[in-house]
Amino acid sequence: MECGGFAEFARQLEREGELVRISEPVRTELEITALADREMKSPGGGNALLVEKPLLPTGLISPFPVLINAFGSERRIELVLGVPVEKLVEEIRTLLRAEPPRSFREGWELFRKGLGLMQSRPHQVKYGPCRDRIVRMGPSAEIDLAILPVLRCWPKDGGSFITLPQVFTKDPETGRRNVGMYRMQVYDRATTGMHWQIHKVGARHGKEYWKKGVRMPVAVCLGGDPILTFAATAPLPDGIDELLFAGFLRKKGIPLVRCETVDLEVPASSDFVLEGYVEPPELRPEGPFGDHTGFYTPVEPYPVFHLTCITHRKDAVYPATIVGKPPMEDFYLGTASVRLLFPILQSNFPEIVDLALPPEGVFHNLVFVSIRKQYPYQAYKVMHGLWGMGQMMFTKILVVVDAEVNVRDTSDVLFHLCANVDPERDFLFTRGPSDSLDHAPAVPNIGSHVGIDATRKLPVEGYPRPWPEEVSLPSDFLRELFARFSRSKEGKKGAFRR
């Protein structure tokens, strides 16, 4: 699905039966959270909600509707991508397997693939709907973040937080762009926090501006083509342009317009663009905030974003999400990202069969991976390799199982973990960076990790006895038997017929 903005996205979701409109006023403080949380914890992720009359703390109705849980189901993710996730996975596999052409026909196909990637590059245009309304900061400007229906998500949050921002920054040395997603606590009419943690690219860019002693330009986009929100949340390898990734998924380049007050380019389809700057080394207390860990993260100092201009579409819809105890909307975003990036991971570790991040692990805490084991201690090789891959460095518990175990079935993984593991022999402890939001480590950003080898053991791995065989019935026998005996569709529940 190609989409101009979140208003069009909402109409598409409604046509597909994936959206519920709420026409009566709903408070941005806690009430939208409660309704959205109920949907997110419903089977399959519930429905997206379009709150048409968000009630602000001032008692006024915001002129901008709120769209929430828009990414909260497999079906809605498919609508964002335009095709099933597995189809895109196969396209990525094909690109990674590309070999030198052996014929004119193979050469032409390779050229077409390369041309498609070239056409995915973002490009500049003179105008976009994100410029329908422009309000600059100045003596007579009425610029005010209070007009946005920013949510106060949980009772003990430090304030209202922008939760789906696409934060645009660029490296002052290379000019290379980054689009990250960092929560933004609204302090007043023209300033917010900028919660980029020390491991994030935005924080790295900020340090470079700090060294130079110059103001850092920042642009924050909300909404637009939903593929942009998806790309901003994806844990892409460092150096991969999120907009190029979005263009690849959309099969066409993302059109960009220049900002009004800062030297940055932003997607022309955005619903809102907040332009401004961060002034290193200015910091301000930020939080607490009920985060994806399911706990409140504490008050800590973070950079301050100063607003210089707001632009928005005339039909702008404010995008929002909430995070907290799983399952939440972010589970579906994260799952799709992992599937899309899995071929890249598999190209580095060909023994990996599958990988899953169960929702209980809130992304970083728990990872299951299955491998085709060919030699001793291969599970440990995979553990060390994964801990060295981008945000996988935050994984606290990494469980490696054999190829036939279904890592997307937590019960199957736990059965084999409990059956195959001798804790003294099969647990590997190490130390490394930890997620800034993880409250368990005694020191922030530094923690321990454990790898658990739940694979069958070889003699040289300290298991001299024969490994037992799992009990099962032959598949041919079962097919023949079940063809003879099937559940009766009539009569008593559980009755059989021949």
List the catalytic residue out of 37, 157, 241, 291.
291
Report how far apart, in Å, the C-alpha atoms of 22 and of each of 145, 219, 318 are. Answer: 23, 31, 15
Kindly provide the b/e burial profile for residues 208-233, where b requires at least 16 CB atoms within 10 angstroms of the residue's own CB.
Answer: bbbeeeeebbbbbbbbbbbbbbbbbb
At a CB cut-off of 8 Å and minimum separation 6, what does 124 contact? Answer: 255, 256, 257, 258, 265
Of 130, 71, 62, 69, the closest CA to residue 271 belongs to 130
Long-range contacts of 263-267 (CB under 8 A, 24+ apart): 263/217, 264/168, 264/169, 264/170, 264/217, 264/218, 264/219, 265/122, 265/124, 265/168, 265/177, 266/130, 266/168, 266/219, 266/221, 267/128, 267/130, 267/166, 267/221, 267/224, 267/225, 267/228, 267/243
Report the alpha-carbon distance of residue 269 to residue 6 in Å, rounded.
9
Report how far apart, in Å, the C-alpha atoms of 165 and of each of 196, 291, 376, 398 are. Answer: 12, 15, 46, 30
- Find how far residue 398's CA is from the centre of its chain: 20
What backbone torsions phi and psi does residue 336 show, to the nearest 5 degrees? -65, -40
Report how far apart, in Å, the C-alpha atoms of 431 and of each of 55, 376, 387, 424, 443 are. Answer: 47, 23, 10, 18, 12
Give the other-Cβ count within 10 Å of 436's Cβ: 17
291 catalytic per annotation: yes
Give the pair of three-digit tokens for residue 148: 């946005």
CB 310 within 8 A of CB 186: no
CB 158 within 8 A of CB 185: yes
- Find how far residue 164's CA is from the centre of its chain: 11
Both ends of the chain: CA-CA distance in Å?
48
Point out the residues that are catalytic. 291
